[in-house]
Structure 1
């Protein structure tokens, strides 16, 4: 046995010593871990949970419904878009902006490899995808903010390509973007939205129907920011909004917009409106303004011009188109018949107030129908004198003057119509020919719809139906109907209005193949100085007179043109387009006209106003 050999039993003693130390070490570590676990799970479980896991709630946006025209054509819809945003701090290291970063790229063998790319190069790639300047991207990603926009409104394809660049901190927020495929066709009716809310039109009026109900998704996220695959996840599905189908016919709307724009420009008017109303249903087929917003590009419009539909929000003194209400009241009260004789000098004084007609003329022996045909103020105030002020007021109210029509359209005006105790001596009579109060074009259309519909008013409406996400269509409730005048009175007014077309001031609105019942109107218009310095000219009527289908009202405000005959051709073209487009057969009978003179003078048949 050599001297260098260990003594028997010495190896086992050393091994045992080392083993004891090892076991002791393990016991100490285990004790520490157990203590920490006891602290985390028993003494402070809430604090541990907040550090290890957190619950994140993610909103699931509901798809906003479409806005459709009466034939189902899309006027407004939402498309998937993304805002490209950046957490600028992810591109910083040690307080300084990084100049490069590492990213994974696919290789030809289907694997991935690491490459280093400069921030400038990545910015150039993103800029090319978006079609913007590289400097714009670099400015957006440079800084210390945790949130900044790089670009708003990227397409899904652009979003995928940008995320593939893998620039640290750059990500995409999904949102819906509202688009309006028909642009300015019915733009102020359809309305418009920004990214947050609806601002006008049907978008605002039917916002609750269109927006649907967002859903929710809840899940747990670890401290590393990664979703825990074993965490709970609760899903409340989003309920998509319903689509809203309007009564507006996009073809008629576009045609009427062009016609009223041309006419308003030609007559140098401040604004103009043309409205088409279905007589039986009250559906508004068109409400066209001379200037209409394109909701895709609101930046072109300053102030409110073109943003709001003038047929609903602009009120004006209507002039002689409202004489029809005075005659309706007198007929209903039994004060006149269509053939009641009325002596009409060029000037007429009553209760100390003198009224005159538009043109000088000799004293005529007219019938009531003849007074209406030639739109004579001197004869109309004599008809009004047969009514008490309260009767006159009540009948105008029955026809809807001074109150909304019930469309529900945001901002619809009632006009101004004071009670008789607030009328001055002159206003007591000017009311009868449409001066001294205001109304809107849609109120005028409602008056003529009532007469054309045999005396039954059907409230105008813009909503035809709603359409669920699964395609189920639910008609809107029928518009309220109310009898205003007797069927007999309505028929008499219809015939009297045909006299206007054939013998009086409405000849420029006549149609070759259809019988038309019309009334013209010219009213003085108050300017910013508070004085009358312009005119509002109107043309209202319906066709075919023997079986009325549609009302058309044309209004051009604040023009220097004094004769409403200028609006007749616009009325005629729009009415003819509506009748032909909707397949209404031409008239096959001749009008049964009243005599317009109470003496032996024959009806004019060729005069114009």
Structure 2
């Protein structure tokens, strides 16, 4: 091979080596870019993927007659993409005139990083149309559901509850049954450009939402509204701090109205998000005395028409108990004791009954336990166990002191008496409504039918000639009991000011009424007024008239007749709820906390 040929071959080899090296470098660079891409390159060339969550239409809350209590309606939500807004100051000024929001506040949302900002959410659709008409680049109006309440935002606030801005249940039934009501959200996934606009022909994936389910409650929308309105008036006129009104059907345990109102820091009485009926505990006072009478009658220690010696006063553990008005030593039947709301007579019945039987009866009625409603935050009340009782526990608890109860627990007692001695679990959800649930507690017989009838006669006497005469409802028979209790305050049951001077007591007025027609007990109405001021503070003068008014409206609204059955010529009792065929020797164990006497007795 000549020298010229060798040189030529060397050049070819050199070129091949260079090409191979260049190819290797190119391959390395391709692999490097794919494995560890430069973030700046990704920012320039990536195709953003946009995702929009599509809320599922929320189910409607309806009342026992199918009328709407809470529903979701379309509303307008204004959003902005600051990246494409050319004149933020001009846009803020124009939006300010339509939305009624200061332009300085809007300007903060129209500038800065990001491609999505909420300007204002869930406004009236008409206002949204006005925003659209402005034609501002980067401002959009999207549809979003808003929860509405036909009876007003206040009505059934504590029981039904409310949702937050994102349509998530935050309280009451809206929270408890949120999953059932809310359904499953859908979503839209699509390719968008750097300015947030959709790329035509790009990737798009749509998942339809699953609609939430309706839920029916046992409330009557009109009775609920009227009970709230009447309760507002009573609490406001009495200068009270709060009030609760409950209406139920004793045979089924259904709650027809659950009103909760409270006076705010501004002094205005309004609805409250706190479900006082379930979460607030208080000492019930004389409205509790039928529980003591039930224990005494069922134990056989006393008989309905047999007189008991009632002294002018009792001294127990150096504590003096008296009645108001005072009286000499007398002999009264249990009916007269309950009618007069005698503390001494009630304590005597409790002494004849004994601690264990009284305690068992208290627990059997449901005190010391949550009701079947089992609201979030619901209180059990306070019932000291027998092991913690002292010499004053029996006399105090007998007259509704030394234990704490909720309004719902007191309602349950009067439901049980009205329902022929059968305790039926309280209900707020209609039959066949809501998600499948575990089987709830069964009805339980607490008293014999004879004992329940005896208690009904005693309570009817309270309204006919005792402390509850202002609870009368024309055309109906009313049985009930008053209570005017003292509540614990700064020094025992005495309230003091900042100079430690006595300024009075904290009173709570209660009336529980059972309203009957010719078919027997039809309604139970309970009204509790806390911290009334002035001269009218008793259960008989403050709460009883409210019960009468609420009952009268409820009876009309529920179309419950007051017609005497001439064919039978006698009053018939409503059929009680069915109970298991098991028998029990005594009421199950139980417990509660303190209260005071009413117009017919003193709290001591």
If the length of structure 2 is used for normalisation, what is the TM-score? Answer: 0.77
Residue 544 (structure 1) aligned with residue 516 (structure 2): yes
Q: Distance in 2 between matches of 1:501 and 1:578?
A: 19
Q: 1:586 aligns with which of 558, 562, 565?
A: 562
Q: 2:529 aligns with which of 547, 556, 563?
A: 556
Q: Residue 534 of structure 1 corresponds to which residue in structure 2?
A: 506
Q: Distance in 2 between matches of 1:465 and 1:318?
A: 32
The CA deviation at 1:279 is 0.9
Residue 396 (structure 1) aligned with residue 362 (structure 2): yes
Compare CA radii of gyration and give the structure with the larger one.
1
Secondary structure in structure 1 of the residue aligned to 2:540: helix
Question: Which segments of 5 or more consecutive residues in structure 1 lack a partner in the other structure?
Answer: 1-31, 92-97, 100-118, 294-298, 593-606
- Judge conservation of contact 1:256–1:288 (CA < 8 Å) in 2: yes
- Judge conservation of contact 2:115–2:195 (CA < 8 Å) in 1: no
- Judge conservation of contact 1:460–1:479 (CA < 8 Å) in 2: no
The CA deviation at 1:324 is 0.8
The CA deviation at 1:281 is 1.3
Q: Residue 180 of structure 1 corresponds to which residue in structure 2?
A: 149
Q: Distance in 1 between matches of 2:388 and 2:50?
A: 64
Q: Residue 153 of structure 1 corresponds to which residue in structure 2?
A: 122
- Judge conservation of contact 1:515–1:587 (CA < 8 Å) in 2: no
CA deviations 1:344-403 (Å, max 9, x no partner) are: 122123565432112112222111111111111111111111223222111101101111
Q: Distance in 2 between matches of 1:353 and 1:391?
A: 23
- Judge conservation of contact 2:463–2:480 (CA < 8 Å) in 1: yes
Residue 245 (structure 1) aligned with residue 216 (structure 2): yes
Residue 259 (structure 1) aligned with residue 225 (structure 2): no
Question: Which segments of 5 or more consecutive residues in structure 2 lack a partner in the other structure?
Answer: 1-21, 495-504, 573-598
Change (3 A) 1:292 1:61: farther
CA deviations 1:300-319 (Å, max 9, x no partner) are: 99999822122222110001
Secondary structure in structure 1 of the residue aligned to 2:314: strand
Change (3 A) 1:442 1:85: same
Calculate the aligned-residue CA RMSD, in Å: 3.7
The CA deviation at 1:552 is 0.8
Q: 2:165 aligns with which of 195, 218, 232?
A: 195
Q: Distance in 2 between matches of 1:129 and 1:351?
A: 74
Q: Residue 289 of structure 1 corresponds to which residue in structure 2?
A: 260
Pairwise mapping of residues 24-43 of structure 1 onto structure 2 (< 5 A)? Answer: none
The CA deviation at 1:542 is 0.6
Q: Residue 426 of structure 2 corresponds to which residue in structure 1?
A: 460
Pairwise mapping of residues 90-169 of structure 1 onto structure 2 (< 5 A)? Answer: 90-91=84-85, 122-132=91-101, 137-138=106-107, 140-143=109-112, 146-156=115-125, 158-159=127-128, 162-163=131-132, 165-169=134-138
Secondary structure in structure 2 of the residue aligned to 1:461: coil
Residue 374 (structure 1) aligned with residue 343 (structure 2): no
Secondary structure in structure 1 of the residue aligned to 2:521: coil
- Judge conservation of contact 2:115–2:196 (CA < 8 Å) in 1: no
Q: Distance in 2 between matches of 1:60 and 1:40?
A: 41
If the length of structure 1 is used for normalisation, what is the TM-score? Answer: 0.77
Pairwise mapping of residues 328-347 of structure 1 onto structure 2 (< 5 A)? Answer: 328-347=294-313
Structure with greater strand percent? 1
Change (3 A) 1:499 1:302: closer
Change (3 A) 1:376 1:225: closer
Q: Distance in 2 between matches of 1:215 and 1:562?
A: 56
How many pairs are equivalent? 528
Q: Distance in 1 between matches of 2:529 and 2:466?
A: 20
Q: Residue 355 of structure 1 corresponds to which residue in structure 2?
A: 321
Q: Distance in 2 between matches of 1:572 and 1:359?
A: 26
- Judge conservation of contact 1:454–1:490 (CA < 8 Å) in 2: yes
Residue 327 (structure 1) aligned with residue 293 (structure 2): yes
Q: 2:482 aligns with which of 495, 509, 520?
A: 520
Q: Distance in 1 between matches of 2:171 and 2:245?
A: 20
Change (3 A) 1:323 1:130: same
Q: Residue 14 of structure 1 corresponds to which residue in structure 2?
A: none
Pairwise mapping of residues 259-278 of structure 1 onto structure 2 (< 5 A)? Answer: 259-278=230-249
Change (3 A) 1:68 1:41: farther
- Judge conservation of contact 2:161–2:174 (CA < 8 Å) in 1: yes
